[in-house]
Amino acid sequence: MSDDPGINSSGVLIVVDVQNDFCPGGALAVPRGDEVVPVINRLAAGFRHVVLTQDWHPAGHFSFASSHPGKRPYDTIAAPYGPQVLWPDHCVQGTAGAAFHLTLDIPHAALVLRKGMDRTIDSYSAFYENDRKTPTGLVGYLRERGFSRVFLAGLAFDFCVRYSAEDAKREGFAVFVVEDACRGIDVDGSVAATRASLAALGIACISALDPA
């Protein structure tokens, strides 16, 4: 992938939420989440254009089970914008858990997009908050920069990568999920549901080793 000038000029790699809290030892660890780091470092070296996203919540965020008396992590509640899975407190602004994994090494990333900063709404997608209406501004950035192909990698495959991929497709980008550069949480079959949804939408799952 890394030598294809077509990818390098029209494509952008979006690295989703490779943060300490989503890696083993973190507050909301994705199983084997740290395994994506060397894969993503190699992958990113082949892209001229890279965007990093960072889950970045205020303390007491609505998506935390601790904000809902009697609820536990991984319970689902009815939010005004639809079902919301409740999570352990994670990625609180300015904490070590919210920092990027120490070995993530993408010095040429042009943009760090933070999300989930509104206390009252979660944001899985890099493009829209969970009401699916409030934009983060990333669509505008990508359009203004002239990118047409979006490659996604990171954590977690079945939540933030999935929602980002689906929104990117909806916005008219050609979308590729680099699946071996992702790991999933798998809540109630969410990994299988993600694969089915991506396939139904025509979003390609590729390998970091594939020529594209």
Q: Which residues bind Zn ion (CB under 5 A)?
A: 55, 116
- How does 181-195 read in b/e, with b if 16+ C-beta sit within 10 Å? bbbbbbbeebbeebb
Residue with the CB atom nearest Zn ion in the bound state: 55
CB-nearer residue toward Zn ion: 56 or 173: 56
Catalytic residue among 23, 115, 158, 205: 115
Q: Does the active-site annotation cover 89? A: no
CB-nearer residue toward Zn ion: 118 or 180: 118
Q: Does the active-site annotation cover 17? A: yes
C-beta separation of 57 from 43 below 8 A? no
> Residue 14 Cβ, how far from Zn ion at the closest point, in Å?
16
Burial (CB count within 10 angstroms: exposed 0-12, middle 13-18, buried 19+), residue 172: exposed
Burial (CB count within 10 angstroms: exposed 0-12, middle 13-18, buried 19+), residue 33: buried
> Residue 202 Cβ, how far from Zn ion at the closest point, in Å?
28
CB-nearer residue toward Zn ion: 153 or 205: 153
Distance CA 98, CA 124 (A): 15
Q: Does the active-site annotation cover 115? A: yes
> Residue 56 Cβ, how far from Zn ion at the closest point, in Å?
8
Closest CA to 55 of 24, 86, 85, 95: 95
> Residue 53 Cβ, how far from Zn ion at the closest point, in Å?
11
Tokens of 148: 């047409």
Catalytic residue among 23, 91, 160, 182: 160
Task: List the catalytic residues.
Answer: 17, 115, 160
